[in-house]
Every structure is written in structure tokens, then in C-alpha cells.
A and B are shown apart, each in its own frame.
Chain A
Amino acid sequence: DSDPVGFDSLDLNERRGRSTDAELDRRDGTRTSEALTPAAAARDEFQEELVIRPLHSGDIYASFQFRTLWDTDFLQEGQKVSHYRLFPKSLGQVLSKFSVRELHISFTQGFWRTMQWGQPFIPSPPGAELWVWFHDTVSDVDGNWKELTNVLSGIFCASLNFIDLTNTVQPSASFKPLGLGNATDHRFLRYATLPREIVCTENLTPWKKLLPCGSKAGLAVLLKSEKLFHSSFHSQAVHIRPVCQDEQCTSKAWELRQTLNVVFDLYTAGQGKKEWSLFKMFSRTLTEACPLATSSKVYVDITDNPELFELSPATPLLSQAVVLGDRRTYSVYDLSRAETFGQLRSLNLLLRWKGDGEMLRPLLHAERYVAGFGLQTGEIHTVIYNNHPYRAFPVLLMDSVPWYLQLYIHTLTVTSKSRDNKPSYIHYQPAKDRHRPHLLEMLIQLPPHSMTEVTVQFERALLKWTEYTPDPNHGFYVGSSVVSALVPSMVAMNTNFTQDQPLFSSFVPVKEESSYFVRVYTEPLLVNLPTPDFSMPYNVICLTCTVVAVGYGSFYNLLTRTFQVDEPSLPLAKRLANLIRRIRGVPLLT
């Protein structure tokens, strides 16, 4: 059967295709009778990690990463994969059915404030974002994309089925694959965002069910929705890509990373006190590692320790990692060792602030806003800041604007330091009404310590009355711009690929030591389109009918009305008298 999602069993445990036994012996791969060759006993392993980074504004940033690594190749000829252990079956079937090479999907609530919080480990735009690289054996990419979005909308309980050709673009230079590969023909890439997509517990529930331990053991017990959504920023993502199996990199392995980034606000979740603990953040403490995990660790960023804050319980394990161009020191709590939990058999980290400090200014950040007034025209301004004191570097700006904002590309200006800055590469695909959005990609060289502004004017289109949403006065969203850059790094980055690198530093592959790749998302825009007044059809009918009645009625009367003199009717006595007078033949009374 070709159904990629779920099957006919009513058993709740098996609904997500998860094998529930945690034993490590190999199971028989010849379960399905139609398998041509028995599936190889492929190894898969699971690692989980939590990184806690206190932010200078008093907020705290927690980043969960769950990685399942599976040494198999779905798309190899003659190998039908039917035995899933740690890798979720629902995603595996989706990958093989649609010949997906890479899949990145993220659901975000809130906006990442780069200037206050620094750079995130894994960036994501507000709303839902999905970008997929298909294999070059696929003949109908658009058909596969449409079906894939529908299947994913069922898996994640999100309205991803609203992704269609009117909001899908094919970037020509951005979003290169994050996994292994050599050929990158951008015809096999599709990118779409839904900035309006709401993220709530119904998206977290299926996401948690994809984990091998579910939310019962390990770090996932901390994921309680009541606390996670009471935050300034919440982002959950699934990234699937092929990676190297080992250091020699001779064979591929599939990597599934589930990441969850959350920033807890000092005032709403922290009650104003600069003191954070696991219990305060998540209303839970850690009691054990996931039994299926080969490594389960908690990292706390103590680079600013001990001047800035104190951490308890203390741990002797320290680790240094170069991440986002900076060398940071981390305290490591290894959950697979029993002594981490202490006598109470539970781990509750406590961080207490002692003073305020200076935050390192992020080298790259971007903003976007709409200028202008009225409901006819407007101007989109994208501002990119390069805060490096002496180095210039190129950035790739990708803008995807829906068709109902008609861009006038002849008004596009790129200025840095109040001088014109000509991009070295421009790719523009104009929109087609109701078929395609605008796609604008530019490679801009940012001078050091400068602000670059990209402006383009647009006109708002009139939609057909059936195309408006049920609440059109809210406005229409325009997805975030994506700024991708190789930012010069202050510290030499690690280009070696080793298995024991912490997960947060090994997400983006590093090719050269002097720079690191970063992707910055701007704010989404909310524009009002000229909206008819839907709420008063009754009043319109009344008004129209009144006008028609008064106008046409008067006209009709003018043409057809004649005046006749009407004798007033006599009172009864006079009428009787007239009767007698008529008989007598005498003139009547009036």
C-alpha cells in the first residue's frame, strides 16, 4: 500500500509507527512478504542535548536537540526499508515516497530579537517554513511538493495544505543543501512560508511523538506546553538530511534532528527575578536519561561565569566549543551517569545572576518595514546592518513577496552609507497574478560598520471577493526576508567532522576556518489590502433598493401620472337631498 501516514491499527502506541520495545537485539527484517531482499541490519542511534544560555537582558534561552542517526539509504535500488527502530516510520515513508533528499520544516511563534539575544543556534522565521530538496530522479517536482505538504499537514496538525504555487518559490542561490551532495540544481528546491501559521500544543504533540522516548523519559519530559508557549519565542523544527557516517565520509547516513528553541522572558515567566532554574522554566526537573539514547547531556553556557552568574549544582565537566564564531565554555551535565542526579535523584539546575554585563554585538542583523500611507501604494524597506569594525562581507538577500503586492522593480535601490551599492548578482522572477509570487535574490557586499538599505515600491492589488479570508481587516502577511551570509569569525572554526562534537555546534557544515555561515530572518510584514465592507450586505441592499425606488419611482410617476379633478364627496344629508332633487329635475347641490 502506498499510504505513507498511519495504518489501520487502533493501537495508540503504534500510531506513529514507533516500535515500543527498547531492546537492542536485531529484529527480523523479513516481516513483509513482498520485500525483495531482507533489509540490512542498519544501525541507528539517538542523542539528545539541551543547551541553556543565559542572555544579558535577564532572559534565558534553552535549545533542545534530538538527533537520530540511521546508517541506511532509503533510495538505494532494491532495498526496501521496512524495519524502523528509532527513526519514525511516518517520516521514513514520506521520504521514500516523495524521493526527498532534504527536508526542513519549522514552526515558530514569536520573533527572534537578534540585537537583544544574539544569534540563535538554529534560526527560523515566524510562522511555518518548509523547504525541501528533492532527488534528481523526480520528474514532477511540483506534484510531489503538493502531496508532500498535504501529508506533512496531517503529521504535524498544521494547515500546511495552504502551501501551493502562489506561495512557493524556487530560490536560485539561497538555501543550498545542508547535507551531503555535489550537484545542486535549483529546479529541485522548493521553499514556502506561512507567516500566519499558529503554533500551539497540537503541533507539539505529534512532534513529541516522533521522539524515540516520546515525552516519557529523558530531556523531553521538560517539554510541557503550558510553560513552553508562555514565552517570548518558541520554535520547533524537524531537519532531515544525509550526513557522513564517519570521519572518512565514504557512506551516507540519514540524520533526523528535532530542535526546539525557547526563550523565556524575565518578566512574564521569570516574575522579574534574575534567577532561573529548570523547575521555574519548565515546571519539571530531570530524573533520568532516555534509555534509548547513546548520549544525553545538558550544556550550560558559563563563558560569563563567575562574574555574571552562579550555577548550582556544580559539575566538574567542562567543554569548550566554537559556535557562531565565538569560543564558549560550557558546563556539562551527563545524564547517563547516575551521580549527576545526586541524592534526590533529580537534577534541577539553578542559575542566579550577580550582575549585568555587556553583550557582544551580533555582527549581522536585519530589519524590514513597510513605509508609505494609504491603501494604494507603499514601499518595502529592508535594512541590513554589518557591525564588524573593519571587515566587509557579502550577503545574499532573498525576498519572496506575494503577488497581490505588485512590486515595481525599476524603483529598487540599494544604498550603503548613503551611496549606491550595486549588487553583484540579481535574480528576479516577477509574479504572475494568482500563480506565482515575486522572488528577488541579490548578492550585496556590505561595507564594514555600515547600514545597507534596500527599498522597493509596490502597489496593492484588488482581490476578488472570494479570495479574502474570513477576517480580511486583520491584514495580509508577507513572509520574512532571508539574509544568508558567511560572517567572518573571530575565532578559528573547527572544520573537522567528529562524532563526539556537541550537536549545537555541528548543525551547519563548516568549510573554512575563517568564517561561519549564518542565516538571519527579518520580521514578516502585515499589509492591509483595500478591503470591501463585507459586514453590511443587508444595508447595501436596503440602500440600493431605496435609491432605485426613489429614483425610478419618481421617474415612473413623472411619466405616467395624470391629475384628475376629484369631486369631494358630499355628506349623507346632502346626498339624500341631491337624490330627491334629481327626481324633481332641479339643479343639484355641490
Chain B
Amino acid sequence: MSHDLLQMHLKAVISCLVIVLYKVHTTKAGQFFSSGHTNNWAVLVCTSRFWFNYRHVANTLSVYRSVKRLGIPDSHIVLMLADDMACNYRNPKPATVFSHKNMELNVYGDDVEVDYRGYEVTVENFLRVLTGRLPPSTPRSKRLLSDDRSNILIYLTGHGGNGFLKFQDSEEISNMELADAFEQMWQKRRYNELLFIIDTCQGASMYERFYSPNLMALASSQVGEDSLSHQPDLGIGVHLMDKYTFYLLEFLEEVHPASQANMNDLFKVCPQSQCVSTPGHRTDLFQRDPGSVLITDFFGSVRKVEITKDTINLTSPVEPPIKRSGSSDIQIESLTYVDQLPVAEIIHQKPKQKDWHPPDGFILGLWTLILLVFFQTYGIKHLKHIF
């Protein structure tokens, strides 16, 4: 009896607290600064080559599509596809990548920008993108320009095993390398929070070795289990998607930019009854409670908007003085186009004057050897007979 009373009291106190907290959260500033990040980035990697790995490209493109739909712009997405499926000669419908049989959803779309494609998707390039150690001539679209207030979503898919992920059928990345790369990112303050999703066989082994703070990881299967593909399509002839990402895409299609769905819902995606493998997750390195982390914190994009009520006066435009190209007193001669095939000129073309280079090591060595042998056999005293 007293126990029930105590419980009732407890419930009342808790509900009061909830109301108070709710009121605090409704203030805009509080809501804005509670998550701690100001921009969002996504690194989406498909590591498999060859036509029968169509489903891995479809996986990556479905996450790309969701992430773009929820607001992350192309300039903040680094998309790496190891092979081209859409314009592959085996694709019966070119420029399309379908995620559902009967060709319902074309995840490739009409507006896609792939940053690393084909042979560029290597372990080295992936690690360089993460750590930021790229050659100076790399264009901006291929860089991960995150700062310490960035939330990054990293999605990997392909063929993997216990502790490794295979890149393009020729090299592998191990879970230790990945953990070290994340530690480098942490030390260089390249992320605020990081969500790592992997859809491969034995995917949970890839996040076992993480040791940097603010990392949350999800995998499609535990160690010792295989991730399975979803459906084959008889028209295209290959499996279109993997089970985990298929249900993830279904889940993400329900999410909209203002959605309040949180990470606990994401952990429930694709239970064993649907996926056959057991999806796993790891949250011990993450500071916040997963229930308070919104899906849009990682999959969507934060736009910083400052509303001001002050007016700004724009100055009137200054008319630039009309600048004539070239002065009028200089003799202007008419310019001409170049002759495309000047046969006479080509025939009488002098060979290019090559710069004289000093003889390289091999020639010098050869001549030294010859001279040495000569003087050894004949002796230096014979020198005067030669010259």
C-alpha cells in the first residue's frame, strides 16, 4: 500500500520534472546548442568491384539519397564508388541503379556527384580522406573539410570478414587501421561526433577496436555471421540490395528533416527475424544517451540561421568607368586563326632543339671503365704515344 503511494508520488514528481524540462527545451537557443554540432558531413564508401556486386553500390547510393534528401549538400558528401554500375554495359537500364525489384526506386537519380570512382577507391585514399592528409592539388569536392563541430556519418559496405574489409578485391583495411584513423581524427579535432555504419559480413568486428571518444557504431551482423542480400531481380540478373540497408532505407524514407526519431529507433532497424543476421551496435564511447540523439543529427544537415530585426542600408552601386580594351592610338592589327594543318610548315619543321644534358651516370661509368681497363693493360707511360 505504501509502496503504491510511493510510486504515485514518484510518478507525480517525474511528470512535473518532465514538464519543466520540456519548457526549457522549447527555447530556441537551448534547442540549438544542445546537440553541439554546427555542420554535417557524410563519407559513403562502396568498396566492391564487378557487376555481381551491384548491391553494394545500390546500398551506398540509397544512403546517399537519404542523406541528400534530409539536407546534406553535395559539397559535404564524399561519395566513393569502386565501380560503375549505372552505366555498366551489363545494365539493361543505363543510368539507373535500382534498390527494389520491379524497378520501383531508382537510387541513382538525375543529380548525383561521385567524388572518388573506379580505381581511386583505395584504402590509402580512404584513410587520406578521413585524416585530411591529401596532396595539395586535391580539389575541394574530394576533401573532408570537417572541423571540431562537425557530425560525420561514415557508411561502409562491401565484402568483409573478421577484422577486415576488402577494397576492390585487391587490398584490405583492418579494424585496427580504422580505429587508428578515427583516433587521428579525434586528435586533430576533425569531428564532434561520429556515426559509423557498416554493412558487411561480420561487420561487428570492424568496430571492436575503436577507442576514441564520441563514436557510435552500427553493424549489420555479428562476428561469425554473414550479412545476406535481399532480393534478386530477374530483369537485371543480380541481387539489388543487402537486407540491412534495405530495411535501413525503408526506415529512413519515413524520416523527414523535422523528425524527432532517435538512435534507439535506428538500433531496432532490421531485427533478426527480418535480417537473418543480428545487427549490432556500440555506444559505450558515445557521451550522450542514444535516446537523445536525433537521426537528423547525423543524417540531416544543420543550417545555422540567425534571425535579426535590424535593418541594413545598402549603399548605392558605383558606376565603374567604361574601360576601353586597348587605347585608340595603338595600331590595332586584326588577329587571325591558326592554320589547322599547315602541310608546308610541318614538312620543313626543324627538329626541336633539345637542351643539352650532361651524359648521365651510365655513360660516364661505361667510359670510365673503358679508360681504366685501357690504362691498366697498356700503362700510363704509353699515353704519349696516343696523344
Contacts and interface: CB of A to CB of B under 8 A. Distances in A.
Instruction: Output the residue of B106, B335, B343, B347 with the most chain A CB within 10 A.
Output: B335
A443 B346 contact: yes
A470 B75 CA distance: 29
Nearest to A248: B334
A487 to B, nearest CB: 10
Nearest to B335: A180
Interface in B341-359: 341-343, 346-347, 349, 351-352
A79 B74 CA distance: 33
B317 interface: yes
Nearest to A247: B334
Nearest to A174: B341
The contact size tier of chain A is 35 or more
A222 interface: no
Contacts of B86: 200-201, 229
Contacts of B13: none
Given A40-B325, A150-B139, A12 B73 contact: yes
Contact of A509 (B76, B115, B135, B340): B340
A157 B113 contact: yes
A159 B139 contact: no
A179 B338 CA distance: 7
A151 B320 contact: no
B343 A249 contact: no
B340 A511 contact: yes
Interface string A268-308: 00000000000000000000000000000000000000000
B34 interface: no
A244 interface: yes
Contacts of A394: 341, 343
A396 interface: yes
A386 to B, nearest CB: 15
B20 interface: no
B323 interface: yes
A470 B53 CA distance: 15
Contacts of A186: 352
Interface in A98-149: 109, 146-147
Interface stretch (A2-10, A320-328, A357-365, A371-379): A2-10
Contacts of A196: 118
Contacts of B140: 3, 5-6, 154
Contacts of A200: 84, 86-87, 95
Nearest to B141: A154
Interface string A522-547: 00000000000010000000000000
Given A157-B113, A470-B170, A6 B75 contact: yes
Interface in A188-213: 196, 198-202, 205-206
B120 interface: yes
B336 interface: yes
Contacts of B341: 176, 394, 396, 484-486, 517
B137 interface: yes
Contacts of B75: 6, 10, 15
B100 interface: no
A230 interface: yes
B299 to A, nearest CB: 17
Contacts of A249: 334-336
Contacts of A30: 318, 320
Given A205-B111, A229-B95, A176 B141 contact: no
B353 to A, nearest CB: 10
A224 interface: yes
Interface in A216-262: 224-226, 228-230, 244, 248-252
A150 B138 contact: yes
Contacts of A318: none
Contacts of B74: 12, 15
B50 interface: yes
Contacts, number: 196
A425 B84 contact: no
Contacts of A485: 341
A424 B303 CA distance: 66
A205 B86 CA distance: 14
Contacts of A517: 340-341
Contacts of A471: 49-50, 169
A244 B50 contact: no
A443 B49 contact: no
A182 B76 CA distance: 44
Given A6-B75, A470-B49, A517-B341, A230 B93 contact: yes
Interface residues of B, number: 63
B87 A180 contact: no
B96 interface: yes
B170 to A, nearest CB: 4
Given A176-B338, A229-B87, A484-B341, A202 B320 contact: no
Contacts of A198: 84, 87, 117-118
A29 B320 contact: yes
B139 A41 contact: no
A157 B87 contact: no
B232 interface: no
A190 to B, nearest CB: 15
A315 interface: no
A501 interface: no
B57 to A, nearest CB: 11
Interface in B294-334: 303, 317-318, 320-323, 325-326, 332-334
Contacts of B333: 250
B142 A154 contact: yes
A309 interface: no
A177 B113 contact: no
A179 B346 CA distance: 19
A226 B335 contact: no
Given A30-B320, A179-B337, A230-B93, A206 B113 contact: yes
Given A147-B137, A225-B110, A469 B337 contact: no
Interface in A154-170: 154-155, 157-159, 161-162
A252 B335 contact: yes
A470 B349 CA distance: 43
B141 A6 contact: yes
A73 interface: yes
Contacts of A199: 87
Contact of A484 (B39, B84, B340): B340
Interface in B1-32: none
A38 interface: yes
B95 A40 contact: no
A178 B142 CA distance: 32
A471 B49 CA distance: 9
Interface of B: 39, 49-50, 73-76, 84, 86-87, 93-96, 106, 108-115, 117-120, 135, 137-142, 168-170, 303, 317-318, 320-323, 325-326, 332-343, 346-347, 349, 351-352
The 8 closest A-B pairs by CB, nearest first: A154-B139, A509-B337, A38-B320, A200-B87, A150-B137, A229-B95, A40-B323, A229-B94
Interface of A: 3, 5-6, 10, 12, 15, 26-30, 37-41, 71-73, 76, 79, 109, 146-147, 150-151, 153-155, 157-159, 161-162, 172-173, 176-182, 184, 186-187, 196, 198-202, 205-206, 224-226, 228-230, 244, 248-252, 394, 396, 424-425, 427, 443, 469-471, 484-486, 508-509, 511, 517, 534
27 contacts: A10-B75, A10-B303, A12-B73, A29-B320, A37-B323, A38-B323, A39-B320, A150-B137, A154-B138, A162-B119, A172-B349, A176-B338, A177-B338, A180-B335, A180-B338, A181-B338, A184-B338, A198-B87, A198-B117, A201-B87, A202-B113, A249-B335, A394-B343, A425-B346, A470-B170, A485-B341, A511-B340
Given A10-B75, A176-B339, A509-B338, 20 more contacts: A5-B139, A6-B140, A37-B323, A73-B325, A151-B137, A157-B113, A157-B117, A157-B141, A159-B117, A180-B335, A184-B338, A199-B87, A201-B87, A205-B110, A205-B111, A226-B96, A230-B95, A394-B343, A443-B343, A534-B170
